[in-house]
Amino acid sequence: MNFLISSTFNDSLTKLTGEEQKAVKTTAFDLQMNPANPGMKFHRVDRAKDKNFWSVRVSGDIRLIVHKTGDSLLLCYTDHHDNAYHWAERRKLETHPKTGAAQIVEIRETVQEVFVPQYVEAAEPQPEFKKSALFATHSEDELLGYGVPPEWLADVKQADEDSLLALADHLPEEASEALLELATGGTPVVASSVTDEAATDPFEHPDARRRFRVMTNVEELEQALEYPWEKWTVFLHPTQREVVERDYSGPVRVSGTAGTGKTIVALHRAVYLARKHPDARVLLTTFSEALAQSLRVKLRRLLVSQPSLGERIDVEYMDAVGKRLYERNVGKLRLVDAETVCTLLKEEAERNGLEGYSLSFLNSEWEQIVDAWQLDSWEAYRDVKRLGRKSRLNEAKREQLWAVFSSVQQRLSDDSVLSKCGMFSQLAHQLGKSSRTPYDFTVVDEAQDISISQLRFLAALGSHRADALFFTGDLGQRIFQQPFSWSSLGINIRGRSKTLRVNYRTSHQIRAQADRLLDPEISDMDGNVEKRTDTISVFNGPAPALSTFDSQQDEIDAVASKLKEWVADGVFPHEIGIFVRSENEIPRALSAIETSGLMHQLLSDSFESRSGKVAVSTMHLAKGLEYRAVIVMACDDEVMPSQERIEAIGDTADLEDVYNTERYLLYVACTRARDYLMVTSVEPASEFLDDLLL
């Protein structure tokens, strides 16, 4: 007998208390070990139209709804007695007549009201305006092909822009996604990779595999039950699978707004390559140690039943990879720290009599131009295109500056020390001379924040085969690096840039509001354009709460009240994240948590140590994280954007990039939220909040 678990079961499990979850998990393990155990109390759900729905007593008032046939046992739902029975009475498991995918379908006749009327105060009579039906011109056969259940066709044909989201909540995922795609002018992608097995087994259809998974052993079930919040690392969407398993003729970059599953695609791509090429070494990397640790945790969850694959996948952040390979391929490494470089720049500027330039400007010019591009001559600095730098420097000014920079380079050489940029550049040069590279394939997550020298190294790492490099990232989340040209470093993705357009993590309301912070299109330095207006979210949620207060204490009290409200509504503390702009605002967040009576801790590098506690972090550390509920605090004027960054600008022409990255930072923080978002500030509020309110 096949033992399966449904995504609806995972969703319902997260809404129970910790003790209730433990009891449900114990019952699930017992069912897998011996479904016929006489101790299992099965009761048919008599009022269900699908007579294969059964209730299993867990403990007290908790029930587990299963779909039981002679061939399979499917965990479908869990809740308190009446709610569990009510759920089963309103649904049926069936094979879609057009697509052949298994679906849990909400029975149309049991839905009292799909289109929720809105009541407003009576006003002067207005001319009646009837909005047009969105799908009136689409044939029933076409709609069936998108996975719309037959009994819902009439409602779909009548849906307009006001009723669509309410209707989508009642449909299977592939149907709601396709309708939202059509409504926004797109063309839905229909799962095409249907195998012979999928043609005969409705649970093997690509659409079904996103929501049903066969549990082959206790370890797999334990994984699915232990990490229900991470279920999307298991249920790979069919459109994502197509990107993961495609053969490419050169470097590829997968883009998409926050929540579209780029990291999951990167994880599955690394696993796919390791599985397809049994002798290959795969590197899965990103720009920070914290994100690399997050990738390790998710990879372990993904490979719980195939640990041997993980032995051929190295997960490290870029700097660690560079240091290790440098010492193995080049020699002993001594790195200079940023503070020492800053001191050298100051000393050489004074020695050369340089005036009119702040130390902040010199430092940024060194980091972003001279050291980043490894310029080693006056001619190279004179002719370099200062992409991303708005300050204009004529030849005479550059000559004055080069005298300082070349002196700093000489002092570093005399001391036999390298910057990280120098390390990556020398390593790239060494790898370029070798006929072999340490890795057959490299997968890079959060690629928008890798540096110039790191990309140069990656180009050398992937030079031996066309499909060696796979990048995922979002230009709208670039918060650490200045923009630069990839093609100038040998990475040309034109024609191989893929965009993920379905947001699985963030509700429609949160995504739509956060998107107001950014332009509808963002371009890289090579002219590749990422459109942000055609992304769709697959579920609804409450509107984000944006509030400005007269004092910090008022803000703290309001946040504390919201924390208590969420917990009372069933949100666990570890499902809540609070983000602030910098360490200076951390005390405000901690005060709110203390006032609420909840436990707290600062976000650490241990991504598995947050159980039972609210996470607090700066916005920069928010990358790669997600929470059911998020509060973005202290969005005050002079805090967001950072007044410290603005004052450190060497030339007012550089303000544009500071403002852009500060916007990206707020966007990153807001889009960590799945269901609930609160953004707070103290008067005067950040000017960015005006954009959120538009």
What does the pLDDT look like over 444-461, one tens digit per residue?
999 999 999 999 999 999
Instruction: Report CA-CA distances (Å) from 586 to 199, 261, 371, 581.
Output: 55, 29, 33, 9
Q: What torsion, rounded to 10 degrees, do the Cα atoms 418, 419, 425, 431 define?
A: 60
Q: Tell me the whole-structure pTM to 2 decimals.
A: 0.76
Q: Is the pLDDT of residue 194 over 80?
A: no
Q: What are phi and psi of 121, to 5 degrees?
A: -65, 140
Kind of pairing, strands 252-255 and 469-473? parallel
* Span 216-253, pLDDT tens digits: 777 767 766 765 545 555 556 767 888 999 999 999 99
> Is 90 exceeded by the pLDDT of residue 208?
no
Contacts of 120 (CB under 8 A, 6+ apart): none
Going across the sheet that includes 313-317, the strands are 313-317, 282-286, 441-444, 469-473, 252-255, 497-499
Please provide residue 627's backbone torsions phi and psi, each rounded to the nearest 5 degrees.
Answer: -140, 155
Specify the fold of 236-330+439-503: Rossmann fold (3.40.50)
pLDDT tens per residue, range 370-380 = 999 999 999 99
Three-class DSSP category at 20:
helix
542-693 belongs to which homologous superfamily?
A: P-loop containing nucleotide triphosphate hydrolases (3.40.50.300)
CA 565 to CA 570: how far, in whole Å?
Answer: 9
* DSSP string over 395-407: HHHHHHHHHHHHH
**How many residues would you count in the chain?**
694
- Please tell me whether residue 152 adopts helix, strand or coil conformation: helix
The domain segmentation of the chain, as residue ranges, is 1-118+136-232, 236-330+439-503, 338-417, 542-693
Same fold for the domain at 1-118+136-232 and the one at 236-330+439-503? no
Pick the CATH number of 1-118+136-232 from 3.40.50.720, 3.10.620.30, 3.30.2310.20, 3.10.20.30: 3.30.2310.20
Q: How far apart are CA 35 and CA 1, in angstroms?
A: 9
Helix axes 338-351, 395-414, angle to 10 degrees: 120
For residue range 544-600, list pLDDT tens digits in order: 999 999 999 999 999 999 999 999 888 889 899 999 999 999 999 999 999 998 854
Task: Quickly state the pLDDT bin for 605 (edges 50, 70, 90).
Answer: very low
Residue 571 near residue 612, CB atoms below 8 Å: no
Q: Report whether the peptide linkage leading into residue 483 is cis, meaning its omega lies within 30 degrees of zero.
A: no
Measured distance CA(536)–CA(129) in Å, rounded = 26
Give the count of beta carbons closer than 10 Å to the beta carbon of residue 57. 15
E strand or H helix that includes residue 301 = helix 289-302
57: amino acid identity, one letter: R
Instruction: State residue 607's pLDDT score.
Output: 35
- Greatest Cα-to-Cα distance within the chain, rounded to the nearest angstrom: 90
Which amino acid would we find at residue 231?
K
**Mean pLDDT score of the chain:** 86
Contact (CB, 8 A) for 142 and 83: no
> Would you call 436 exposed, middle or buried from its count of C-beta atoms within 10 A (0-12, 13-18, 19+)?
exposed
